[in-house]
Amino acid sequence: MKNLVTAIEEYHLRASGHVVSLTELDNGFFAPPADDTCPLCEGAQWSCSTGAHLKTIEHVALKNELEPKILIKAIHIISFNASEIAWKQLLYTPSSYLRSGWDNGELVWLPSETTEAYCHYGCENGPEESCSCGIYGLWSPFAAHEYYATKSHVTVQMQVGGVVIEGSKGCRAQYALITGIYENGDREAEVEMSEMYEVPLVPMINEEVLDGLQ
């Protein structure tokens, strides 16, 4: 399981644009770093410095001694399944409730209370296809966590309901309720918010979901 968790985190980091530095050889070619090779690229030399192979699922899987199909399935389960659970970043201030960033922090999310979307353009029964209103959430916890990636934000897990307009990467919802605090950023802030909202700290990678894939 440890290999799978490591591979998921590593692949997402690379897919999100993390730069992999290649080793430039005396002959003008480039080679992968000694600690970043898989059975396919060990000893390889490339004329290009982009290192595209090092960003593939196949490379990350084989490097971590996994079958590529297992990593593909795990990434799909964790990051890209639309459901009633979405992820979002909220503004964090010590000893205060979380707030939405899109309205300059005016919308406060209260503990154990469902937050309802408000439309400035007059939608009365939840977000509409022709409008941009609604509570925005992302299906991928990775994408949500990296949206701002600053200590002034906390990533929350939320249950969405009412009218929910789904997209390939996320949704716009009429209602949302905080159900968890993601535990891989500012530890002090996450523990504080977990206690304030009386919700659990939630790991981004649910090992129970992945159990049995290997």
Tens digit of each residue's pLDDT (9 = 90 or more) over 31-72 = 998 889 999 999 999 998 888 899 899 999 999 999 999 888
Identify whether residues 113 and 30 lie together within a single domain.
no
Q: What is the pLDDT of residue 146?
A: 76
Domain boundary among 79, 102, 124: 79
Identify whether residues 75 and 90 lie together within a single domain.
no
Other CB atoms closer than 10 Å to residue 209's CB: what's the count?
12
Identify how many contiguous H helices and E strands the chain contains and give both numbers.
Answer: 6, 8
- Ramachandran angles phi, psi of 50, nearest 5°: -75, -30
Q: What is the pLDDT of residue 18?
A: 67
Domain boundary among 46, 79, 112: 79
If pLDDT is split at 50, 70 and 90, which confidence band does 5 have? Answer: confident
Q: What is the pLDDT of residue 61?
A: 95
Residues 171-182 as b or e (16 or more Cβ within 10 Å = b): bbbbbbbbebbb
Assess contact for 132 and 122: CB atoms under 8 A: no
Domain boundary among 29, 53, 79: 79
Tens digit of each residue's pLDDT (9 = 90 or more) over 151-169 = 688 999 999 999 999 987 8
Identify whether residues 95 and 169 lie together within a single domain.
yes
Identify whether residues 122 and 25 lie together within a single domain.
no
Tens digit of each residue's pLDDT (9 = 90 or more) over 163-198 = 999 987 889 999 999 999 988 767 889 999 999 999
DSSP 155: E
Identify whether residues 58 and 91 lie together within a single domain.
no
Assess contact for 181 and 156: CB atoms under 8 A: yes
Q: What is the pLDDT of residue 149?
A: 59
Domain of residue 97: give its range.
Answer: 85-210
Q: What is the pLDDT of residue 79?
A: 56
Cα–Cα distances (Å) from 122 to 127, 132, 133, in that order, read 10, 11, 10
- The residues that bridge with 157 in the sheet, in sequence order, are 87, 180
Segment 92-111 mean pLDDT: 86
Identify whether residues 45 and 101 lie together within a single domain.
no
Identify whether residues 31 and 93 lie together within a single domain.
no
Segment 27-31 mean pLDDT: 93
> Model-level pTM?
0.66
Identify whether residues 41 and 22 lie together within a single domain.
yes
The domain total for the chain is 2
